[in-house]
Structure 1
């Protein structure tokens, strides 16, 4: 969905993990298209084969713009990602290669490389060094494929012990490894919960922002249901020249279709 604003265009994508949950997953593609979306994102396509996901996209006329690397088993040390977990390097590499395989079939151009939780008994410096080595290896695999790897710092209130300290740390890693291949996933909700100052931080990180996601705080509902000044935030994003997608990764307060009224009220 491309929305024209006075500050410039914004490209909005539906996150099918969070939106259209009123219907089974396979029906969410058509529901998103009927609502006016032309692109979708969701964390895990791995429950289906690449060909099955491709068919769902084609049937609905949609583009898949982002997937995550695969998580580890539930309640395992890598359930939130393997990149930050020393000793899980092979699991991390297998996951990156699997994500690249799916991205090639789906035409996906951004892969969120999940950092994961630092094990409590692991020295922070060792875990961070492992993370940087893992991201460097992943960048080598992605180079030349047309895929950009996105690093996301999830706030510590929602995920205590999450490896990446901040979006600024993610940006430093991207710049050290290869900013042409690695960038930052700028999630406005996580930025607000982490330390606020959303607009200034976006402008500082803009050169390495690979993807943007939105939700309000508190509650993680649609923009306009919380404290974030989305009229100004989205206007500045449009003015910045950012031409990537903005993923709608929020939990609708009163139903997906009803909640989409924020687009007219805030964006247009």
Structure 2
């Protein structure tokens, strides 16, 4: 920690102890030690567990104290209703945005939407209906959908048509509530149907709904297609959400080959010109263990966010 920031932080703590109270949200907002990030970076639960403890609400407070303005929680649908509501209320209190959660059984190797089978589509649509209620509780707008694996006994065009048909039906459920499913092309296995940003762009155009857009995960797209900034530009009109992870290793920025400072700057400037904002999900691990690793992660974001505009 920079010495002058430590002194300021200590002074605030002393003042709080003298009044017998903890810092209010307003006081925390005025805290000069809080980082002022240009973008809405969204950590996930567990990322700062060594610094904040295991309680998710304490972790949220820690994230806010560090200057992070969003949360991502892939497993939100599996959390108890009471905790979903508690997280939503705390996000509101802290002035933080809710990022994506994953639509439960929204499409995977067991029920690929590319197959066009009614039983698989019904599972997906039921997940969308339940996601609406979860989104209301935690103040979410975006939810991740992965169509699943290739159906290798069908031509690719037929599979694409099946995926578009299923997603249109999902969009009909989400669109009236102002919700957006974001389709994520992945690099985890070549068996996955959705692999590239241009393929995802084509599908979003086919669905033709404000409730169906692209989740551009820079880590996966670096592995599958590279040429990151041009691909962002080409798919721009259908992108609603970004995720972060350096490559190789899928850790925080500055630990691999991806120049995140340039990517952040490019998207920031392009979005600002159109009065847009994006949440950037920090969907990666920590390169180093313990509290020191968590502080190193924060420092990596400070460095990558330090682009000039």
Q: Which residue of the partner structure matches residue 295 of structure 2?
A: 257
Range 105-114 or range 172-181, more displaced: 172-181
3-state SS of the aligned residue for 2:76? coil
Q: Which residue of the partner structure matches residue 51 of structure 1?
A: 82
4+ residue segments displaced more than 4 Å: 1-4, 119-123
Unaligned runs of at least 5 residues, structure 1:
none
How far does residue 247 in structure 1 lie from its aligned partner after superposition?
1.1
Q: Does 2:256 match 1:226? A: yes
Q: Which residue of the partner structure matches residue 247 of structure 1?
A: 281
Q: Which residue of the partner structure matches residue 132 of structure 2?
A: 100
Q: Which has the higher helix share?
A: 2
Q: Select the residue among 125, 141, 147 that pairs with 1:115.
A: 147
Change (3 A) 1:123 1:21: farther
Between the aligned partners of 1:168 and 1:122, the Cα distance in structure 2 is 21
If you compute each CA radius of gyration, which structure gives the higher value, 1 or 2? Answer: 2
Q: Which residue of the partner structure matches residue 67 of structure 1?
A: 101
Q: Select the residue among 174, 177, 182 that pairs with 2:204.
A: 174
How far does residue 124 in structure 1 lie from its aligned partner after superposition?
3.8
Change (3 A) 1:76 1:83: closer
Between the aligned partners of 2:133 and 2:155, the Cα distance in structure 1 is 33
- Deviation per CA, 1:139-183: give whole Å up to 9, x if none: 11112211122111002xx22311113111111111221242211
Unaligned runs of at least 5 residues, structure 2:
1-33
- Deviation per CA, 1:110-141: give whole Å up to 9, x if none: 11122212245555444322211111101111
3-state SS of the aligned residue for 2:177? coil
- Deviation per CA, 1:157-213: give whole Å up to 9, x if none: x22311113111111111221242211111111111011000111111111111011
3-state SS of the aligned residue for 1:256? helix
TM-score (normalised: structure 1): 0.86
Q: Does 2:73 match 1:29? A: no
TM-score (normalised: structure 2): 0.75
Q: Which has the higher strand share?
A: 1
Aligned residues: 257
Equivalent pair of 2:261/2:305 in contact (CA under 8 Å): yes
Q: Does 2:48 match 1:15? A: no
Change (3 A) 1:184 1:76: closer
Aligned-CA RMSD value = 2.5
3-state SS of the aligned residue for 1:260? helix
